[in-house]
Structure 1
Amino acid sequence: MKIIPLQEGNYFVDKNRAFIPLTSAINEQGLKLAVQPFLVITDTDYILIETGSGHENLGRPIIKDLLVKEGITPEHITKVFLTHFHKDHIDGLGIIKEGKYQINFPNAQVFGQKREYEYALLQTQSTSYNFQKLMPLQDLSNMVWLNEDSGNLTPEISYQVMGGHSPYLQVFWIKDDTETYFFGSDNLPQESYWQHSIAYKSDYDGKKARDLRTHWKQQAQEENWKILLYHDMEKTMI
């Protein structure tokens, strides 16, 4: 098994939750973060965990170029795992072409938590969602809707619904014979979240997210997990 971080880039996030490439907003004061999906290669699958922000380079989705750099085409991807439906996690899944949604990974099954999606559809005033790309997912033939609180998606990857940053956010464990990798998504997006016991107001349930991090930190130390970081500007893994 191989895990490859796909480092899309660093962004400044403005008050309207627009993700502005940091090179264009270097002097702005406020939230700055990375966006980096992960490619997991097993004996049977090419798996994406999250799909990035949907930014493009010369009209081509950045996520596609990142895969090509690894010698992989978008058609190679067999599974996509989503933790929740905020735009910086799902907008790389597809593009809008001639007014229609077109998935970037035509041969992939896309796994999302049904309850989280139903919640997202109701957040019509929230700038955390891109409804132009959110709405079409309900009619996407590639979607596999998860309804259980936990389970196995492949022999190597399990999930559990945890909530915290969003009400039904799900996290993933990736295991092989020697290692355990953990992806906590926006409940644990940066290394600094280990260092400060803070309940963030930007989370749906900040106290729950904080308590989950405390529990995971102890478990990670005891079981020697490696942590995959989606939004850390310095590291992809600790």
Structure 2
Amino acid sequence: MEKLSIGEISIYWLDGGVTFLDGGAMFGVVPKPLWSKKYPVNEKNQIELRTDPMLLQINNKNILIETGIGKGKLTDKQKRNYGVVEESKLDESLAEIGLSPKDIDIICMTHLHFDHASGLTRWEDHQLVSVFPNAKIYTSKVEWEEMRNPNIRSKNTYWSENWEPIQNQIYTFENQVVIEECIKMIHTGGHSDGHSIIEIESNGQKLIHMADLMPTHAHRNSLWVLAYDDYPMTSIFAKEKYIPYAIENQSWFIFYHDAYYRALKWDQDGNIIDEIKRK
């Protein structure tokens, strides 16, 4: 299990499952000869994408960022369509550091697409229940509204089984919210209308989770946005604002989807100057 410490915060990457999605969809209008130099692709034109939540420990609190693909939630057809080759092993990952899902105090959801939110609930005695019954779950107000009332496009990724059992645990915000005095969730839109990013700071050290505005290290270019993005120009504007700012402040970039890097730092010329690779 990979770990990163900044200031007083410890961050662990848990095992949330593995998908293989179409590389063209993940890089939008960028030609394959360009993006395939940055990120490996298989013979089916698919790229490996993790769905690995990050556990933060600060102020005696256990905080999750995202929740994984879930376990026992997907049909065989869905597994084929989304290239799911491994489901979540969150219970086992948490047990490695002496925790269980009941020990999670807070969950930060950048957005609620199925590959981030399926880990919020599970089947138990033929009923859907909350996986993390003691957690406050934060997401933007816009995202929560669309989760419950998806449009003709987004209904394919906002599923009722991922929100109905946890609706009493939800805390929403409009522009931004600060959690435990060191975690800031900022509503950006772009990938989804309610998408947020997360900035974290402790003892002068910083990191940023761009979530699906930059799902892998290969998406650093502000113009390389996903075909899945509902508002691609909004994604571009947000990347142009936050990526240079984070690099200037020597922030770590952390990843939920990247199959090769857990975290890294870039210099202003785009060179990697520090890294944590997935084992």
The alignment's TM-score, normalised by the length of structure 2, stands at 0.73
Shift of 1:206: 1.0
Q: Report the residue type matching 2:197 in the other structure.
A: V
Instruction: Give the corresponding residue for 1:128.
Output: 157
Q: Which one of 219, 225, 235 corresponds to residue 245 of structure 2?
A: 219
Pick from 38, 43, 62: which aligns with 2:89?
A: 62
The 1:183–1:154 alpha-carbon spacing in structure 2 relative to 1, beyond 3 Å, is same
**Identity score, percent:** 23
Could you tell me which of 124, 145, 151 is aligned with 1:118?
145
Give aligned pairs, total. Answer: 224
Unaligned runs of 5+ in 2: 1-8, 26-41, 73-86, 265-279
- Indicate conservation of the 8 Å contact 2:70/2:120, yes or no: yes
- Are the counterparts in 2 of residues 12 and 28 from structure 1 also a CA contact under 8 Å? no
Within-5 A mapping of 1:147-226: 147-195=173-221, 197-226=223-252
User: Residues 46-75 of structure 1, C-alpha deviation per residue, up to 9 Å, x if partnerless?
Assistant: 00011011035xxx9521211112221212
Give the C-alpha shift of residue 112 in structure 1: 2.0
User: Is the aligned partner of 1:89 residue 2:116?
Assistant: yes
Cα 1:178–1:196 change in 2 (3 A) is closer
Distance 1:7 1:176 in 2: 25
Counterpart position of 2:271: none
CA shift in 2, pair 1:197/1:61, >3 Å: closer
Instruction: Specify whether residues 154 and 119 from structure 1 end up closer, same or farther in structure 2 by C-alpha distance, changes over 3 A only.
Output: same
Question: Are 1:43 and 2:59 matched, yes or no?
Answer: yes
Code of the aligned partner of 2:189: G
Alignment check: 8 A CA contact 2:130 2:165 kept: no
Cα deviation, residue 135, structure 1: 3.5
In 2: Cα distance, 1:90 partner to 1:200 partner:
19
User: Residue deviations 1:68-116, cap 9 Å, x none?
Assistant: 1222121211111111110111111111223422111122111122221
Tell me the amino acid that sits aligned with residue 155 of structure 1.
E
- Give 5+ residue unaligned stretches, structure 1: 18-25
2:115 is aligned with what amino acid?
A: D
> What value does the CA root-mean-square deviation take over the aligned residues?
2.5
1:175 alignment partner, SS class: strand
Q: Within 2, Cα distance between the matches of 1:233 and 1:61?
A: 15
The one-letter amino acid paired with 1:150 is Q
Whole-Å separation in 2 of the counterparts to 1:78 and 1:176: 19
Equivalent residue of 1:192, what SS?
helix
Sort the Cα spacing of 1:103 and 1:128 in 2 relative to 1 into closer, same or farther, 3 A.
Answer: same
More relative contact order, 1 or 2 (CA 8 Å, 6+ apart): 2
Aligned to 1:6: 14
CA gap of 1:221–1:154, structure 2 versus 1, over 3 A, is: same
CA distance in 2, matches of 1:199, 1:208: 10
Number of the residue aligned with 2:270: none
Asked if the contact 1:13/1:32 (under 8 Å) is kept, the reply is yes
Report the AA paired with residue 38 of structure 1.
M
- In the alignment, which residue of structure 2 is the partner of 1:20? none
Moved over 6 A (4+): none
Q: Summarize the alignment of residues 7-26 of structure 1 with structure 2, pairs less than 5 Å apart.
A: 7-13=15-21
